[in-house]
Amino acid sequence: MPEERFEPRIIGFLCNWCTYAAADTAGVSRMKQPPNVDIIRVMCSGRVDPTFVLKAFREGADGVLVAGCHPGDCHYSEGNYKTLRRMTLLRKLLEQFGIEPERLRLEWISSAEAPKWAQVAREFTEQVRALGPLNWKGTVLAGLPTTAEHFCPEVSE
């Protein structure tokens, strides 16, 4: 039986004004893009709490894509700079946890750049595919108790 191709799970956090709009247009214009990226809409990339990224990795994401307006074009004027700072530091942290920093990607995609969105989605999917599965739950946390059970050890006199 032939080796099955690895299909990465990717979570994308998209800002409402730029990248989400771009992704929307890309869809409406029937641009070719992989199904691997699951999108979560936030008003601004500045809303993306590193907690969300770690949560995504913990729950099994192989890659996380955070995308917002171009620097200077943020609908909220500065939010995306905060994102830039956070993701830069977060990448450094991920490395310490043995997660390739490339699994977390930050992109600036304006609402006008639907083709860029489609291309980034394709590229990143391939990039993560090349990195291989992360599957945190299934490998790193494999065998660790998650929900504590209550039982009494049998007592032998």
Partner 1 sequence: MVTLTINGQTLEAEEGQTILEVARRSGIDIPTLCYHPVLPPDGSCRLCTVEILSGSRPGLQTACTYPVEKGLEVQTHSPKVIEARRVILGLLLSRTPNVPLIQDMAREYGITEPPFPTENPEEKCVLCGRCVRACHEMVKAGAINFASRGLDRRVGPPFMEKTRVCIGCGACTIVCPTGAIEIVLKQAAEYLAKPLGPTAAIYVPSPQAIPRVPVIDTDACIRFRQTDRTNGEITDACGACAIVCEAGAVNFDQQDEILDLDVGAIIVATGFERPNPALLPQYSYGEHPDILDGMEFERLSNAAGPTKGQILTSDGRVPKAIAFIHCVGSRDEHANRYCSRVCCMHAMKQAHIAKERTGADVYELYMDIRAFGKGYEEFYERVQREGVIFIRGRGAEVVQVGGKLVVKAEDTGIGRPLILPVDMVVLCTGMNPPHDADKIARTFGISRSPDGFFMEDHPKLRPFQTATEGVFLAGTCQAPRDVPDTVAHASAAAAEALKLLSRGEVVISPQTAYIPAELCSGCRVCNALCPYSAISFDEERKVSVVNEALCKGCGTCVAACPSGIIVGKHFTDEQILVQIEALLGTPA
Partner 2 sequence: MSEKPKLKLALYWAASCGGCEIAVVEINEKILELDAAADILFWPVAVDTKYDDVRRMPDGYIDVCLFNGAVRTSEQEEIAHLLRCKSKIMVAFGSCASEGCIPGLANLYSRNGIFERAYLTTPTTDNPEKILPQTRTPVPEGELVLPEFYNTVLTLDDVVPVEYYVPGCPPQPHQIWAVIEAIVSGNLPSPPAVVGAGDKTCCDECTRKKGEKKVKRFYRPFEIIPDPETCLLEQGLICMGPATRSGCGQGKALCVEANMPCRGCYGPAPNILDQGAKMLSAIASVIDSNDPEEIARIIETIPDPAGTFYRFSLSKSLLRRARV
Partner 3 sequence: MKKISIDPITRLEGHGRIDIFLNEEGEVENVYFVIPELRGFEKFAEGRPVEELIRITPRICGVCPEAHHMAATKACDAVYHVDPPPTAKKLRELFYSYFYCSDHATHFYILAAPDFVLGPDAPVAERNILGIIHKVGLELGGRVIQHLAETHEAVATLGGKDIHPVAGLPGGWSKAITEEERRRLEEIARRAVEFGQLSLKLFHDIVLGNKAYLDMILSEAFILPTYYMGLVDPRNKVNFYDGMVRVVDPDGNEFVKYSPAEYQGVVAERVVPYSYLKFPYLKKVGWKGLVGGKDSGVYRATPLSRLNASDGMATPLAQEEYERMYETLTGDRSGRKPVHHTLATHWARLIEMLYAAERALELVTDPDITDPNVRTIPTATPTEGVGIVEAPRGTLTHHYITDERGLVRKANLIVGTTNNYAPIAISLKQAAQGVIRKGVEITEGILNRIEMAFRAYDPCFACATHALPGRMPLEVVVHDASGEVVARASRGLD
Neighbours of 108 (CB within 10 A): 22
Site string for partner 3, 54-73 (x = CB under 8 A): --------------------
- Binding partner of residue 123 among partner 2, partner 3, partner 1, none, CB cut-off 5 to 8 Å per kind: none
The one-letter code for the residue type at 33 is Q
Shortest distance, position 93 Cβ to partner 3, whole Å: 12
Tell me which of 24, 34, 82, 116 binds partner 1, using CB under 8 A.
82
Length of the chain: 157
By CB under 8 A, what part of segment 23-52 binds partner 1?
Answer: 38, 40, 42-44, 46-52
- Binding partner of residue 75 among partner 1, partner 2, partner 3, none, CB cut-off 5 to 8 Å per kind: partner 1
